[in-house]
Amino acid sequence: MEDRKRERIGFLTWREAMNWTRCGQSKNAQHRKDKGKFYHIIDVNSPAFHALHLNQEGFSKGQAQPMRRTSALILIGNEILSGRTKDENIQFLALRLGELGIPLREIRVIPDIRETIINTVTEMRAKYDEVFTTGGIGPTHDDITAPCVAEAFGVPWEFHPPTFKLLETYFGPEEFNAARQRMAKLPQGAIPIVNPVSLAPGFSIGNVHVMAGVPRIMRGMFDALAPSLQKGAPVFSRTWHTTSLFEGTLADGLEAIQNRFPDLDIGSYPFHREDGRRGVALVAKGQNRAEVEEAASAIHDLIKTKGGTPIEGEPPV
C-alpha cells in the first residue's frame, strides 16, 4: 500500500510549482516543507501533472511535433482609448510571443471599468493558453487591474508580504504611503513577475500574466517572465515583395494559395514610400516550416506568372 501511495505522489520543483499555480491547480495541491523549502505534492497520474512535464521547446514525452499554443493580449487603460497615450507594446509582444511559439490570436483594448476587465479576463483565459495584460497596476485610484483580476479568479486581493517588504525597503517608511502600498497587493496565490526597472512587480495567476503599461517596464517584466513560459511550435515566416504589381492583380492567385494552405496565414501588405516607390509584400506565416516554404515558393511563382519581379524579404523603408 505504501509503494502505491509513493507512485501517486510527485514533488514539484519551484519552477514547476510556478507553472502549476499558473494552471490554476495550486488550490487542489497539498503543501510540504522540507529542509526550509516548500514543495507542492500532487497526484502524478493526474492530467494536469503530466501537462507540466514539457520541455522548453514545447514537446511532451512521446510527441513528434511541438505543441501548438495560443495567446491573447488585453491592453487596459482609458488613456489608450482616448488617444492620449500611443501604445508601444503590441508589436514587441507579438514578435516575442511568436518567437516563443505562443502567437497572439486576439488583442483587445478596454477601459478602466471593473466589470469590463473582469468579464474580458474571464472570457480570454478560457479561450487561450496564455493571456497577457498591460496597464492599470500603478498606485493611483484608477489602477484597478489587480483587484479585478483577483475577482475574476474568485480570490482575495491582499498584501503579499515579500513584495511589501521589498517596496518598503526601497521607498523607506516615510515614502511608502498608502498609495504605494497598493502595489504590494496581489491576488491570493499569484506569483510576482520581477520588475527590474522600477521594482513594483507584475504577477501571474493561472494562465494570466499582468504587466505594467509603461513600455520599458513591461519589456523588463516580460524578459523576466519569458523563461518560465511553456513554449510551443515556433512561427516561421517568408516574405516576397514586388514593385511592379499591386494587390488587385495578385488577389485571386493569393486566395488560391490560402485555400491550399488553410493552416497558414497568407497576407498581402501594400506599401507606398515617400520617394514614390509602391508595391506589395506577400507573406506566408505558420508553425509548419515545410508548408511555409512551399507556400512561399507558390507566392514567388505567382508574382512571376503575373509579369512581376519577386524580391525576397520586406521592402526597404
Name beta bridge partners: 199. Answer: 195
- The pLDDT score that the predictor gives to residue 38 is 36
pLDDT computed for residue 257 by the predictor:
98
Question: Taking the complete model, does pTM exceed 0.85, yes or no?
Answer: no
- pLDDT value, residue 233: 87
Please list the ranges in the chain whose pLDDT falls under 70.
Answer: 1-66
Please check whether the domain covering 71-228 is classified as CATH 1.20.58.100.
no
pLDDT at 238: 97
pLDDT value for 167: 96
Task: Note the pLDDT of residue 317.
Answer: 83
Supply angle C-alpha 92, 51, 287, rounded to 5.
45
Instruction: Looking at the structure, give the CATH architecture of the domain made up of residues 236-312.
Output: 2-Layer Sandwich (3.30)
Question: According to the model, what pLDDT value does residue 176 have?
Answer: 96
Domains of the chain, by residue range, sit at 2-52, 71-228, 236-312
